[in-house]
Amino acid sequence: MRRFWNLLATPIGAILMKCTYLLRRTAHTVQTLRDRLLQTRAFLAWKSSQNKLNDLQQRIVSDLDRDGIAINVSELGLDAQFQELCEHSSLLKPLPKKTGGIMKPFLHKLLSENVVDHDPESIYGRVCLDSRLLEIASAYFRGLCSLSEYNMWLNVPIDDSAQSSQLWHRDPGDICLLKMFGLVTDLTPSNGSFHYLRGSHWRGPHARLTAPSTHDGFSSRSNDEQMRQLTDERDWIHVTGPRGTIIFADTRGYHKGGLVQSDHRLLLAAMYTRWMYTGESMLRQTTPLADDASVDQEWALRAIRRGEE
């Protein structure tokens, strides 16, 4: 170790340090250029897709642009799909959890505890790839979106205090991420309501706010007390709503939820991302895309894992 420090103090060490610095700068520049290129392609494809948003979709996108969240959106015309979703998902049962890694004992992912095999015929795949939802996500990103993840989430009470995503945090992977939560059970203050700090998304006044936090080995989490030090509680949006409600939230902004005190919470959760999202897709394609898939749908599944990957 001592030899290493001695080497750094020599001219060779100085050159090595300079080279390392230049390499890191170059890698950063290449990454930025790649991101810009990808976003430009997605932007041009979005522009040429000529999808016109209806009034409700426009309202949702402007709520998202302003606050980072759009709630109580149950009029999108997905009622029949939600009815089917409720019927199917009520038959799902919790699967064995994998051991190791970061566990959320309060959350069961009912389609798979890991990667989900995307079935374009299933009600889950059909809802998440519904053009009305893809259009909203793409308009929010100003570029055609990817669908990186979907699953049915069952939240249950546990005999412990708030932990992991039940505490305030920002999701990693890009400067903006759009989650869609489709409520299959009513969402109440006691069965895992969702909380969001208004304006903490990329376009909001609190985009750069970093609250005091504690690292749990996976991510930085803040409790209410820590959040209160830097934010006004009047900006904390507390989301509840009846079954059938769709909530869109940019979860790069501060949020928390899923703390069940009584009963349980069941919802369809999907994550839409920009092309430069750095996280892995949690979906695997096992059957070919339908022949009549739209351009938006093809783009949405661009980053999906193929075959046995």
Ligand X SMILES: O=C(O)CCC(=O)C(=O)O
Stretch that binds ligand X, among 55-63, 71-79, 109-117, 252-260 (CB under 6 A): 252-260
Among 236, 257, 266, 283, binds ligand X (CB under 6 A): 257
Residue closer to ligand X, measured from CB, 46 or 194? 194
Q: Are 258 and 192 in contact (CB under 8 A)?
A: yes
In whole angstroms, how large is the CA radius of gyration of the chain?
Answer: 21
Site for ligand X contains 251 (CB under 6 A): yes
In angstroms, give the least distance from the CB of 171 to ligand X.
Answer: 5
Site for ligand X contains 245 (CB under 6 A): no
CB-based contacts of 259, cutoff 8 Å, min separation 6: 106, 162, 166, 192
Distance between CA atoms of residues 66 and 133, nearest Å: 18
Residue 288's H or E segment, with its range, is none
Strands 178-183 and 246-250: antiparallel
Task: Tell me the C-alpha to C-alpha distance, in Å, between residue 295 and each of 46, 144, 169, 248.
Answer: 10, 9, 34, 22
Site for ligand X contains 200 (CB under 6 A): no
Stretch that binds ligand X, among 25-33, 108-116, 133-141, 250-258 (CB under 6 A): 250-258
Site for ligand X contains 194 (CB under 6 A): yes
Task: Classify the phi-psi angles of 217: left when phi > 0, otherwise alpha if psi is within -120 to 50, otherwise beta.
Answer: left
In angstroms, give the least distance from the CB of 205 to ligand X.
Answer: 21
Distance between CA atoms of residues 7 and 149, nearest Å: 48
In angstroms, give the least distance from the CB of 165 to ligand X.
Answer: 3
Binding mask 5-44 for ligand X (x = CB under 6 A): ----------------------------------------
- Write out the binding residues for ligand X, residues 111-170 only, by CB under 6 A: 165
What are 294's two structure tokens?
A: 């739209």
Distance between CA atoms of residues 207 and 199, nearest Å: 7
HSE-up of 277 (CA within 13 Å, CB side)?
Answer: 28
Among 198, 252, 255, 274, binds ligand X (CB under 6 A): 255
Residue closer to ligand X, measured from CB, 109 or 255? 255
- Write out the binding residues for ligand X, residues 160-179 only, by CB under 6 A: 165, 171, 179
Residue closer to ligand X, measured from CB, 167 or 296? 167
Site for ligand X contains 57 (CB under 6 A): no
Name the residues that contact ligand X, by CB under 6 A.
165, 171, 179, 194, 251, 255, 257-258
